[in-house]
């Protein structure tokens, strides 16, 4: 639907109403690296919006940067999105009515739309070299003007163009931005926006090597694929007026855009390696579970009615564009760890067992699996924690912590002689064992439990002592108590 151009020098794009039109959102990554927290938050919000509205979520691969795009990054991002459970109904890997979904395969589509712009005189070849453009930008900057294309090639006649062709110059294709216009749109997150077209400057939509340029392919594909809503990072906000002008010139409908605040570090700067600049691969390898990332990211720059743990379907049901914040979203590792603890606390035992990995599988006897999981779950946030406890309970080389040496020394050998005696009598029957030990030694509370725990596990904190006692092979328990006598 072409916009209403009658408005004095300004135009508005129609508002899609979520009730009358199937919502279609997309994630459009450039496969030039692995997906990071920021990308997957964008993917997540678009997926949640589609799901919330019973719409469709599309995955489009923006691989027009031939030098930096790599097939292995495409494979990795498909894998990451699937691991996260961010399923798409249409797009790369699954196909759909607007295939192909990789921009590198859509050259013929773009050729047609370049042709259309050419036919209405909305584009022109630009022969300016990168060095000339840099010079012109510099001149504008020193004159205190915002850098924008000076229009050098905007009005070349045929003879001038031919002369440049003959010199062997390969032109880019520039979009002719209409002068004196105000581009207005209502951003889904940031509200009404106005941009003067005179500040934009004619921009490149096809590179000198014939490659399609981002502004163009991104806008054309959104429109052709029927995308109704685009949630993306606010670094794209100033691209939007350009893209709206392009779509207007092509007579193509535009989606609604919402520009989300970027994720920043605790101090407000860009994410660093210490502060959340992690790829999904790294987080997965570290043992993060997908629902932890989802629960965390869905709340990073978006507010839910309540702060409790939510299943992915609940995250979608409670998602609202109106709850997206404009303030920068600060990465907070403590929050991410909080949700990780929540997932580990909730995961089915079988799933946790697989997640704990081969070092645990090798260490823990098969018939103790369930008990082991129950014992260490509250003390486990990552597989490494489970490995730690598997070693402490079922062998492996380890030395007691300093705290536990102190606790053992404080209790003294006589305490452990009694402990051995009660163990011989009651074995893993925890209640009678501690009652009798209390009676025999007079120790109670911390003085009773701490040395016992320290002797049995080499730590002063850890899984419930009753569970530890039940899990420890009797000869191991006996040896550890003897070692303290």
Chain residues binding ligand GLU by CB under 6 A are 28-30, 62, 218, 230, 232, 236
Of 213 and 218, CB closest to ligand GLU: 218
Do you know the residue count of the chain? 485
Write down the least CB distance from residue 452 to ligand GLU, Å.
56
433: Cβ contacts below 8 Å, ≥ 6 apart: 422, 423, 425, 426, 427, 469
Of 204 and 360, CB closest to ligand GLU: 204
Of 229 and 381, CB closest to ligand GLU: 229
Of 46 and 418, CB closest to ligand GLU: 46
Of 39 and 457, CB closest to ligand GLU: 39
Of 229 and 467, CB closest to ligand GLU: 229
**Contact yes or no for 375/349 (Cβ under 8 A):** no
**Contact yes or no for 44/86 (Cβ under 8 A):** yes
- Tokens 């992915």 locate to 312
Q: Is residue 126 annotated as involved in ligand binding?
A: yes
Q: Phi and psi of 179, rounded to 5°?
A: -75, 155
Tokens of 420: 């051995």
Active-site hit among 273, 438, 444, 446: 273
Strands 329-330 and 263-264: parallel
Strands 172-175 and 203-206: antiparallel
Write down the least CB distance from residue 192 to ligand GLU, Å.
20
Tokens of 317: 């049901």
Return the bridge partners of 56, or none.
Answer: 24
| Among 309, 308, 389, 369, residue whose Cα is nearest residue 343 | 309
DSSP letter for each residue of 184-215: EEEETTTEEEEEEGGGT--EEEE-TTS-B-HH
Write down the least CB distance from residue 238 to ligand GLU, Å.
12
Write down the least CB distance from residue 302 to ligand GLU, Å.
17
CA 26 – CA 59 distance, rounded (Å): 6
Q: Is residue 128 annotated as involved in ligand binding?
A: yes
Q: Is residue 485 annotated as involved in ligand binding?
A: no
CA 415 – CA 408 distance, rounded (Å): 9
Residue 273 annotated in active site: yes
Write down the least CB distance from residue 214 to ligand GLU, Å.
7
Write down the least CB distance from residue 6 to ligand GLU, Å.
29
**Contact yes or no for 153/208 (Cβ under 8 A):** no
Q: Which residues are annotated as a binding site for Zn(2+)?
A: 126, 128, 153, 155
Known catalytic residues? 273
Could you list the residues known to form a binding site, using ranges: 126, 128, 153, 155, 273
Annotated binding-site members for ATP: 273
């Amino acid at each position: 639907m072409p916009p209403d151009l009658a408005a004095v020098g300004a135009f508005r794009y129609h508002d899609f109403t979520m009730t009358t039109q199937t919502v279609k959102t997309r994630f459009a990554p450039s496969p030039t690296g692995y997906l990071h927290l920021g990308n997957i938050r964008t993917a997540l919000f678009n997926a949640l919006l589609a799901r919330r509205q019973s719409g469709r979520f599309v995955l489009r691969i923006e691989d027009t940067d031939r030098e930096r795009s790599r097939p292995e990054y495409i494979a990795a991002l498909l894998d990451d999105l699937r691991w996260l459970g961010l399923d798409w109904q249409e797009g790369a890997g699954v196909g759909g009515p607007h295939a192909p979904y990789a921009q590198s395969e859509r050259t013929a589509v773009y050729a047609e739309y370049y042709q259309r712009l050419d036919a209405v005189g909305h584009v022109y070849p630009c022969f300016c070299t990168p060095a000339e453009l840099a010079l012109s930008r510099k001149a504008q900057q020193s004159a205190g003007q915002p850098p924008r294309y000076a229009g050098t090639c905007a009005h070349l006649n045929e003879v001038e163009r031919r002369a440049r062709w003959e010199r062997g110059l390969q032109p880019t294709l520039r979009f002719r931005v209409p002068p004196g216009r105000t581009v207005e749109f209502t951003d889904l997150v940031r509200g009404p926006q106005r941009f003067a077209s005179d500040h934009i400057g004619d921009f490149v939509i096809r590179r000198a090597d014939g490659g399609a340029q981002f502004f163009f392919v991104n806008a054309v594909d959104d429109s052709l694929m029927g995308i109704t809503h685009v949630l993306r990072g606010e670094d794209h906000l100033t691209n939007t007026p350009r893209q709206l002008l392009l779509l207007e010139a092509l007579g193509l409908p535009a989606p609604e855009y919402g520009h989300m605040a970027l994720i920043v570090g605790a101090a407000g700067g860009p994410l660093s390696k210490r502060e959340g600049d992690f790829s999904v691969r790294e987080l997965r390898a570290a043992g993060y579970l997908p629902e932890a990332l989802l629960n965390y990211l869905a709340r990073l720059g978006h507010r839910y009615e309540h702060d409790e743990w939510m299943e992915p379907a609940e995250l979608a049901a409670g998602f609202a564009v109106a709850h997206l914040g404009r303030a920068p979203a600060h990465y907070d590792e403590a929050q991410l760890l909080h949700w990780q603890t929540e997932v580990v606390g909730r995961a089915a035992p079988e799933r946790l067992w697989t997640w704990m990995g081969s070092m645990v599988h090798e260490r823990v006897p098969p018939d103790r699996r369930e008990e082991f999981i129950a014992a260490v779950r509250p003390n486990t946030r990552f597989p490494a924690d489970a490995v730690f406890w598997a070693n402490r309970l079922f062998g492996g080389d380890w030395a007691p912590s300093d705290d536990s040496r102190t606790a053992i020394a404080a209790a003294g050998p006589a305490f452990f002689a009694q402990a051995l005696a009660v163990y011989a009598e009651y074995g893993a029957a925890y209640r009678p064992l501690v009652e009798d030990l209390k009676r025999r030694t007079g120790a109670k509370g911390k003085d009773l439990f701490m040395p016992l725990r320290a002797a049995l596990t080499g730590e002063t904190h850890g899984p419930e002592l009753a569970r530890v006692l039940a899990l420890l092979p009797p000869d191991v328990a006996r040896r550890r108590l003897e070692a303290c006598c």
